[in-house]
Amino acid sequence: MKLRIALSALSAAAVLATPLPAQAGATDMTDAAGTASTAGAVDRAGAAGTVGAVGTPALGWELKATGVTARLRGLSPVSRDVVWASGSAGTVLRTVDGGRSWQNVSPPDTAALQFRDIEAFDARRAVALSIGSGTDSRVYRTEDGGRTWTETFRNDEPRAFYDCLAFFDRRHGLAMSDPVDGRFRILATEDGGRSWRVLPSDGMPEALPGEAGFAASGQCLVASGSRDVWLAGGGAERARVFHSGDRGRTWTVADTPIPAGDPARGVFGLAFRDRHRGIAVGGDYRPEQQSPSAGAVTGDGGTTWRPATTPPPAYRSGVTWLPHLPFAAIAVGPSGSDVTYSGGRRWETFDSGSFDTVSCTRDLSCWAAGEQGRVARLKLKRPGSG
């Protein structure tokens, strides 16, 4: 869909701020999480709605030089050392040393494609999704760290436009397309992305007129656990989230309070800590438009959604939970990054730089990526470190 492609050209001037540099006393999330008293201070201060209170580490992004200028909307950190990123001009990047160096491991002859989503399993194996109408929607897989790639799916339905990719485990995964014949189309794999099949659509509720997904951050389709998956919609009269508890075979749908009623508005990113607690972010991606109510939360697996009491101040495209704090999450967008310590109810901005997507690993390392090849790692500056 042209709207999805147009997202690339809207914020060339949005790289507004330089992230906090590494300093004495600054640590990554992994190091800081090793101190129980520090983590507890963050949680308690955040629960009171105060970021940067006495005893609370301040958050900031440390940029990593990638050597590319592509817009990176796909991001899949595997560990504190291994991270994959993907984006425009057929770009796929990989680091195995925590971002100190990056290898350009782009599939050959794909410069015309946009890899808006990537899911990595380890330093060697990854699956990348290129988006677009018709045959531009493709899936590639590598088993050797990006030295070679195999195209495992090429869309042959001219009305389909694949937006996002998600995996439950190393074998089972889904990709989603904008509606075909009035329903979102779901592609499934049971062998780690080596082969794919389109699932029957009779278990999918009908789409609203104009409803589609936003290929903005690789987070319009997210999974939690072995069977639950959520799909974000936009561009219609209402901004909705779909949920499946059986790996995409049957779905329910619920309205959210995220701004809607325009092709540029809707839910852009989802994050679920478990099968119950989730956060939705979005708004209106046009920089000249205001996006109040850009965040929403659910505590029942997406059956109902409530607006954030203090939402992010502008459109946000990506969101992730911080793994070591039960109620903490980060949201990012072209105009800044926000943190919540209340499960998504209250947000506060901590950085004004531009990012499109954000993700954390189980070993507590958090990363963000965006335009002009920007990739950054989250840092904590301990109180009193200067």
Domain range for 203:
2-48+59-381
- Helix (H) or strand (E) holding 161, with range, is strand 161-167
Q: Are 352 and 59 in contact (CB under 8 A)?
A: no
d(CA 76, CA 122): 10
Long-range pairs for 182-189: beta carbons < 8 A, 24 or more residues apart: 182/206, 182/207, 183/207, 184/213, 184/231, 184/233, 184/242, 185/157, 185/160, 186/248, 187/139, 187/153, 187/162, 188/247, 188/248
Cβ–Cβ under 8 Å, residues 52 and 58: yes
Residue 53 included in any domain: no
- 386 domain residue, yes or no: no
> What is the number of domains present in the chain?
1
Name every residue whose Cβ is closer than 8 Å to that of residue 202 and which is 6 or more positions away in sequence. Answer: none
User: How many Å is the maximal CA-CA distance in the chain?
Assistant: 59
**How would you class 50 by CB atoms within 10 Å of its CB: exposed for 0-12, middle for 13-18, buried for 19 or more?**
middle
Identity of residue 309: T
Measure the CA–CA gap between 319 and 335, rounded to whole angstroms.
14
- Please identify which residue in the block is written with the tokens 């970021």: 51
Place of tokens 């561009």: 235
pLDDT at 29 (0 to 100): 47
Q: 121 near 78, Cβ under 8 Å?
A: yes
By the 10 Å C-beta count (0-12 exposed, 13-18 middle, 19+ buried), 193 is classed as buried
Residue 241 tokens read as 């989230």
Q: Is residue 54 domain-resident?
A: no
- Give residue 359's pLDDT: 98
Helix boundaries (H) for the chain: 2-6, 29-33, 36-47
Under a CB-based contact definition with an 8 Å cutoff, are residues 188 and 204 in contact?
Answer: no
pTM value is 0.87
DSSP secondary structure, 306-345, as one string: EE-SB--SS---EEEE-TTSTT-EEEEETTEEEEESSTTS
pLDDT for position 44: 32
List residues bridging with 215 in a β-sheet.
none
Tell me whether residue 242 is in a domain.
yes
Structure tokens at 204: 């999918």
Residues linked to residue 154 through DSSP beta bridges, in sequence order? 138
Query: In CATH, what number is assigned to the domain containing residue 294?
Result: 2.130.10.10
pLDDT value of position 245? 98
Cite the beta strand spans of 168-220 per DSSP E. Answer: 173-180, 183-189, 197-198
Q: What pLDDT score was predicted for residue 31? A: 39
As averages over each run of 10 residues, the pLDDT of the chain (386 residues) reads: 45 36 38 33 35 57 98 98 98 98 98 98 99 98 99 98 98 99 99 98 98 98 98 98 98 98 98 98 93 95 98 98 94 98 97 98 94 95 54
Q: Could you report how far apart the first and last alpha carbons of the chain are, in Å? A: 49
